[in-house]
Each structure stands twice: as structure tokens, then as C-alpha cells.
Structure 1
Amino acid sequence: MSTTRPNAADDRGPEQGEVVVPPPAQVRRLLLSGVSGIVPTARDFTRQALHDWGWLPAGSADRRAAAEDALLVVSELVTNACLHAGGPEELRLYSQSKVLRLEVVDGGAGTPAPRTPHRAGRPGGHGMFIVQRLCLDWGVVRNRDGRPGKTVWAELAAPA
């Protein structure tokens, strides 16, 4: 786990004399405080964003797998906030050309981490292991204004 990742996967420097302007991120935000059915609501919101951004409907097995991975990671991050942080406050989705960033904001003080050692046959405790396995990177950013809470983020590769 890391909390920063300076370069996205497959970043390349500009050709000599070329000016590279990164594409603006497409952003979606969903307030989750007080929402019932938080996990299905977060998945439905993410599914709609993936549809709007061209990930769905999936035209290939790779695109379908990428969308399913994104939906699973959202489910795991939101569920983790429900179980260990008093519930999520907000879900943020950022789509750029090569990376999808998912963020779940919560008011909890804990730090999520995969259980070690991971035991596949044991019930529960697999959420952050799944996030770690599916994502390019993930991490935790604490609130800087002194309020309790954090943002748990994860980045997935966009489908080819």
C-alpha cells in the first residue's frame, strides 16, 4: 500500500518539442450520509458513470472484466467504511484516459489494511485484499483540517 503514486501506469514522457496537456478528469460525486442501501446505491451510481464514460456496455471480455473490477472495488471500499468507520460520507469517481480513481470519504480513525496472512477459506476480512489485488495502487489520505476521518482511494487501469 502507498499513499502517493506520482505517475500513472503507462505514463510516457513527451516527444521532443511536443507539449502534453493531460486530459481533464471526468468527475462524479455521490453523498452517502444518511442513505439507506448504501452499497447498492454506490454500485448503481458507479455503473451509471461507467456507462456514461464508455466502459459499459462492454464490447469485449477485457472491458467487461474492468467494469466488474471497478464495481467490486467500490463495493468493498463502501462496505469497509460501513463496517469499520461509521459509514461512508461520500463516493468520488475520477476518470482519466488510462486510470479510474475511486475514493470513499468517511469519518473513521482506523486505517484499512489487508489481513495478513490472508486465508482464503476464512469468512470475512477479504475486502482490502481484493482491493490490493485488483488495483494499480491504493492508499489512505487523512483529513488535513484536524477533523477526524480519511479518504480511502484506489486506482484501476482503464480498459484498452
Structure 2
Amino acid sequence: MGEDLFSDSDSEFDDYKSKTQLKKEMLALVKLGEQVVELGVAALKKIPLDTEVAEAIDIARNMNRKKPSYRRQLQFIGKLLRNRDEEDVAAITQALENLQGQQYQLKAHFHKLETLRDKLVDQGDDALQSLLQDYPQLDRQRLRQWIRQAKKEREQNKPPKAYREIFQYLKQEIQE
């Protein structure tokens, strides 16, 4: 009889969460809500939200972020999320992670294009030849003209118009 008191069978304490654990979970939901509030309009449409949460997020998006009312609204969003099923919150979290991953990939791609552009302007025809081996669809003549213009603009301390045009052209032609 004494052994049953300490057994690992289902008991009322299995679902017990400490006050600290509950607080951490609530703060995580408030943080999740804040991340969703800070998204742009197009990205926000990709997040699966029910109407009540979507309305609360829309209200927060239109508030002054420095006012205490904004913090209270974020707390309210956290409370709404806490009252949702775990699957709903997991779907929101997953959609947010997917968006952040896409943004990271886009930033990495832009950084690569900026590096290619800088290399073209600094090294000239050698860098252009190397780039054309990797991307034969690029227009050699147009790029050479922009490279010359970019160097000339740099020497004369003019606005970097050709420099920007090289980046825009590379962004349009090199998609990964």
C-alpha cells in the first residue's frame, strides 16, 4: 500500500506547472504577439490568425509603441494566444519562422549581389569575365559600360547612379 503513494502512475501532479513556468510561457506568447505585430502588411497575411487575434493585432499596429497602452495591448494579445489551442499557436510560430527564414535568405542573396557589384567595380574586366562564366546570360557590354560609369562617378564624387544600376541589373538577372 505504501508503494502506490510514490509510483509514477498518472496523478494529479503530472500536469502541474510552477508559477515561474506559467510566467515564462506567457512572456513567450507576448513576445510572439509582438513579433507578429511588427510584421509588414504582406507578411501578416501569411500568418494564420483567427478574427479576434487579428483585430487585436491590428489595433496594436496602429498604436504609439512608446505608450503604456501599447504594452497593455501586447499583454492582451498574449492572453488571447494563451486561450488558443497549442496547434493554433504552433501554426503561428511556424509561419513566423518561415517568414524569418525567407527574409534571411533574401538578405544573404542581396549581400552576395552587393559583393559581386563591388568586385566588378573594383576589379573591372577580370571580375566581369569570372562573373560571366558563372552567369552567361548577363549582358557583357551593358555591364562594362556601367562599370566604367561607376568608376568615373566615384572619381568625380558624383552620386553612384551606375553603381546602383549594376546592383538592380544583377538582382533582376541572378535569382537564387
Quickly name the TM-score band, shorter chain normalised.
under 0.3
With a CA cutoff of 8 Å and minimum separation of 6, indicate the structure with the bigger relative contact order.
1
Give the alignment's TM-score, normalised by structure 2: 0.26
Higher CA-based Rg = 2
Q: Structure 1 or 2: larger helix share?
A: 2
More strand by share: 1
